[in-house]
Structure 1
């Protein structure tokens, strides 16, 4: 995995093979950030990265100037790897070891962007329920992005906007419409 743009552009992050991760491909990540670049000023946003794994998305935001990033994953080794990688790269991340579903249910989420990359083998209903929890009224979330298999259709989800496909992966966008 490499960082696509920003102050850390070109840096390669090599995760130990034993980690249970499926990092977002560089092509898909570059396309996603091109979309986000038109909607947000990265320096001034708050980001929550759920199922963060080795931190591909978190580190990309940090490289582009985002300073308020929370990364959540339940795997101890992923959390340890991401914390160490962030320290080595000199970027600030709040890395939390927690079950994502419990974290979302128990915490008020305040973020401009919540990105979630759950395991692809979860049921569609689980993905939809996660979006509903993230976008519940007491949370202050502008945009929720879910990465999922291109074979999954999340268009029935709450505040669905669009889906973009990149290879075997898709990004579905949820939240209030752009003004």
Structure 2
């Protein structure tokens, strides 16, 4: 696994073999960050990486200057590895061991970008619950974006706040954005 861009471009990271993960491929990471580069200046973005696994996506954000980053995963081995790697690279990443759904239910913070990479075999209703919890709890900033990585067998384009999706091989990134109420926007001006 390597960091594909930013300050630490090309740096290799070697997670333990026994972690229960399916890391996002370099091709998918590159495609994702090409999209995000067109929408965001990464400096000082608040990032939430759920189902963080090895922390690969968190490191990509950190290498590009995003700060602070919160990485959540239910596996203690993954969290330990993220903490170790963040310390080694001096990344501003807070790693939290938690059931992701419990974290989303209780979280009060908001983020500019939320990235979720659940196990591909997670039931459809659980993928939908991620979207529902994020928007019900107002966790996404108005100009923010949530991205869920999933297999082509999971469909999320019927969900509220759906923006678009992109397919790369067997992986799909589905993007969600806060839908503005045009009357609210006019009142703010």
TM-score (norm 2): 0.90
CA distance in 2, matches of 1:48, 1:172: 16
Unaligned runs of 5+ in 1: none
Secondary structure of 1:173 counterpart = strand
Give, in whole Å, the separation in 2 of the partners of 1:31 and 1:43: 20
Identify the residue that residue 72 of structure 1 maps to in structure 2. 72
Root mean square deviation, CA, Å? 1.5
Deviation at 1:61, TM superposition (A): 0.2
Deviation at 1:130, TM superposition (A): 0.8
Comparing 21-30 with 143-152, greater Cα deviation is found at 143-152
Cα distance, 1:67–1:139 mapped onto 2, change above 3 Å: closer
Corresponding residue number in structure 2 for 1:10:
10
Partner of 2:153: 151
Aligned residues: 179
Q: Which runs of 5+ in 2 are unaligned?
A: none
In the TM superposition, 1:9-48 aligns within 5 A as: 9-48=9-48
Q: Please list, as runs of the form range in 1=range in 2, the aligned pairs for 1:159-174 lying within 5 A after superposition.
A: 159-174=161-176
**Bigger shift: 12-21 or 130-139?**
130-139
Whole-Å Cα distance in 2 between the matches of residues 86 and 137 of structure 1?
Answer: 28
Task: Answer with 1 or 2: which has the greater Rg.
Answer: 2
| Matched-pair contact (CA < 8 Å) for 1:135–1:144 | no
TM-score (norm 1): 0.95
Are 1:42 and 1:61, in contact at CA under 8 Å, matched by a contact in 2? Answer: yes
- 4+ long deviations beyond 2 Å: 137-142, 176-179
Q: Is the 8 A contact 2:152 2:172 kept in 1?
A: yes
